[in-house]
Amino acid sequence: MKINPIYRQESRAGARSFKLPLIILGFNSVLAVVALLYMYSMITQVRLTAEIQYSSFLGLYTFVATVEFVLLLFIIPGLTAGSISGERERQTLELMLTTGMQAADIVVGKLVQGLSTIFLLIVSSFPILGLVFIYGGVTMLDVGRLLLCYVVTAVFLGSAGLFCSAVMRRSTMATVSAYSVMVILTAGTLMVNYLADGLAEMTSVGGEAAGWPLYLLLFNPAATFQTVLSRQMGSESGLGVLFPQLDRIAEMGAAGRYWLPVSMAAQLLLAAAFLWGAVRKTEPSVTRRRRR
């Protein structure tokens, strides 16, 4: 089996540095502290009331999963945003292209290297997420859906970071652009829905909310994450506070009935578009002119 040369070289370099172990240590330290503090608060509550509320243990799963998702949102763009722009700054991108490698090989190799780090972070967090199995209430299928959501988010935002890295000449600007794209996809699509709902309530007689902004939430990783947890924990978990618009996804027809697979497919399609754009921007200008 032929291994991508960029991925092989980046993996060897990463294995020799202390950056990866420090990232894993910091990531899991935050999750462990959060989980232990939550468990301590539950034990304190039991001492005060002499009652054990097993729903609190499901709250532990929800809380830790949410913290992990937020950490991934901020880690993923930073891992891929400087991949190609960094090669330009070191003046090594042109040398790579003269070795016979295609631009697609470079982009895919950089993406796989970034995703391998994210997957390692996700897998290393299993023991912390597994704390809830001591008390039950969460099945392996639930955890599998959660991990699938993490993987799709990693591919989506990682591809967006690579696109920004290919477009921008400097790693600093590429990183800023990658985080800006992440904010637009998460907070931006949410704000559009809030504004559309507010305008609809002011202008329409019946106060009906606009339906078209709901389709923007298909590209929102946070909305997909909330849908996964809400279907696992139920509506009483309070997860609908941030995205109350998801209660109206039944208005979207087939897209509403199959919200999770449709949203994940939409994000993967947009990720493919980001990768295609990154490949085009990484190609030498001579190759692009020949294609035209």
Residues 247-255: contacts with CB under 8 Å, at least 24 apart:
248/209, 248/211, 248/214, 249/214, 251/211, 251/214, 252/211, 252/214, 252/215, 255/215, 255/218
- Rounded Cα gap, residues 46 and 198, in angstroms: 42
Q: What integer pLDDT is reported at residue 163 of this predicted model?
A: 94
The rounded distance, in Å, linking the Cα atoms of 205 and 129 is 48
Q: Are the CB atoms for 132 and 51 separated by under 8 Å?
A: no
**How confident is the model over 189-201, as pLDDT tens digits?**
888 877 877 777 6
The span from the CA of 275 to the CA of 129, in Å, is 32
CB atoms within 10 A of CB 92: 11
Helices 103-124 and 5-16 sit at what angle, rounded to 10 degrees? 40
Report the percentage of the chain scoring pLDDT > 90.
Answer: 20
More confident residue, 69 or 212: 69
pLDDT of 75 over the 60 cut: yes
Work out the widest C-alpha separation in the chain, in whole angstroms. Answer: 76
> Is residue 46 predicted with pLDDT exceeding 80?
no
Domains of the chain by residue range? 17-283
When pLDDT is cut at 50, 70 and 90, the band that residue 240 belongs to is: low
- In this predicted structure, which of 25-34, 43-52, 56-65, 202-211 has the lowest mean pLDDT? 202-211
The pLDDT tens digits for 25-42 are: 889 898 888 888 888 887
pLDDT of 269 reads 96
Asked if residues 151 and 221 have their Cβ atoms less than 8 Å apart, the reply is no
Please report, as a single letter, which amino acid is at residue 209: A
Predicted TM-score (pTM) of this structure = 0.85
Least confident piece of the model among 36-40, 86-90, 160-164, 286-290: 286-290
C-alpha to C-alpha distance for 174 and 82, rounded to whole angstroms: 6
Q: pLDDT category, 286, cuts 50, 70, 90?
A: very low
**The tokens of 122 are what?**
């996700």
pLDDT exceeds cutoff 70 at 239: no
Count of CA atoms in the C-beta half-sphere (13 A) of 12: 6
